[in-house]
Amino acid sequence: MINFIKNLIKATKKRKGLFLIFAYLFLMLFSSLMISIIEPAGTPLKSFWNSLWWSIVTSTTVGYGDIYPVSVWGKILAVALPIFLGIGLGAAFITYLASLLFERRDKKMYGEKKYSGENHIVLLGSTNDTIPLIAQILTDENRKLRDIVIVADYQKHPMPDKEDVFFVRGDPGTKETLHKANLEFADRVIIHTGKDENSLFALINTLELKKESCEVTVECLSSQSLDTFTSVPGSFEVIMQMTAEMIVQAMQDKVHIPIQVLLKNDENEEIYLIRVKDEFNSKWWDLHKYLKEKYNYLTFAIKYDKEKILINPPKETQVSKGCSIWLISEKRPVNIDWRDL
């Protein structure tokens, strides 16, 4: 009997839940059969089904008292089997279930559990912008309720209160960690590790593991690293360091592509800031059309003296002394004739 209990404890430590279940069922059936044989004829426990009922309520300490053994051997069996071993088995099984629940919670909290979902968004790396970025993704209407999986070296889950945000702890540049995030079945991957060399490793492994339809966006912090990123073969988009809102827009709408062309500085078009003449006074739309038609300059924003910037201003916005204009041009704009306006 003592050895049997020791085996139960060992089974609980090894998490053999099925063993505990079958052991409990076997004990109930065996005790029911034995008590129905031992009890004298004419007593309620002579029926196997009554004996099974008695074994269950006795082992669970319910003990209604409606049925009980009357023979000496029946009482000894009641002490040895349903009462002693039944309660022990029940306690062992409840302990096992509790340990499973706590372990599952801890694995999720500390990023040890493998994510098993599909069509999710994987966020590789962590910076000061990670939490704002996730918050921005959660509020983005194009997310389509996809789960978000954070892959980073946090000590524990950074957003445990968010049911659709999961955490995988580890190096985002290794395949082992990417497998834990189930990256092979992800819909989108955002790489922003805070270091270009780490992002490069994560990018190479991501491109090797991802499915064909998965869209990858990698953040590049240094313009000197931009050529290295763009030389990597595969389908992905590179963005320079941007705000959380711009990263989400890049992921969803590809708005960063023309910006990237300008930032690379190897194309004809570049961005310039020019100051208007002090005596100049005109409406924005008139200035916009004039510079486009006469010089092929594309204006897109006004800068005021106090660092206030108005992007895509209304047509009737007044442009006068103290203003500067942001524009795109093939070469530095000089010798603009402000008198023609």
Residues 149-188 have pLDDT tens digits of 999 988 888 888 888 899 999 999 999 999 999 999 999 9
User: Which residues share a beta bridge with 248?
Assistant: none
CA-nearest of 270, 274, 305 to 287 is 274
At 211 the pLDDT is 93
Q: Which residue's entry shows tokens 């991802």? A: 210
Tell me the pLDDT tens digit for each residue of 23-42.
777 888 888 888 888 888 88
Task: Report pLDDT for 206.
Answer: 95
Mean pLDDT throughout 114-135? Answer: 88
Token pair in block for residue 148:
């978000």
Structure confidence by residue, pLDDT tens digits, 301-337 = 898 876 678 888 999 998 887 788 888 888 878 788 8
Contact 126, 115 (CB under 8 A): no
Q: What is the pLDDT of residue 1?
A: 47
Q: What are 35-65's pLDDT values in tens digits?
A: 888 888 888 888 889 888 888 887 777 767 7
Provide the pLDDT for residue 321.
79
pLDDT given at position 151 = 93
pLDDT band at 278; cut points 50, 70, 90: confident
pLDDT of residue 149: 93
Per the structure block, which two tokens stand in for 251? 């992921």
Q: Mean pLDDT over residues 81-88, rounded?
A: 69
Q: Answer yes or no: is pLDDT of 6 > 80.
A: no
Other CB atoms within 10 A of residue 215 CB = 17
Q: Looking at this protein, which amino acid is placed at residue 281?
A: N
**Helix 2-13 vs helix 17-38: angle between axes, to the nearest 10 degrees?**
150
Give the burial class of 10: count Cβ atoms within 10 A of its Cβ; 0-12 exposed, 13-18 middle, 19 or more buried.
exposed
For the chain, list the domains and their CATH numbers: 2-109 (1.10.287.70), 121-264 (3.40.50.720), 270-340 (3.30.70)
Residue 90 has pLDDT above 60, yes or no: yes
Model confidence at 106, in pLDDT bands (50, 70, 90)?
low
Average pLDDT, the chain: 80
* Chain centroid to CA 214: 16
Q: Note whether 205 and 175 are within 8 A (CB).
A: yes
* pLDDT tens profile 194-216: 899 999 999 999 999 999 999 89
Alpha-carbon torsion, ordered 85, 87, 89, 94, to 10 deg: -170
Please tell me the predicted confidence (pLDDT) of residue 320.
Answer: 83
Residue 193 has pLDDT above 80, yes or no: yes
Token pair listed for 266: 């190897």
Question: What's residue 7's pLDDT?
Answer: 58
Q: What is the pLDDT of residues 224-266, one digit of tens each?
A: 888 888 889 988 888 876 555 556 665 565 544 444 444 444 4
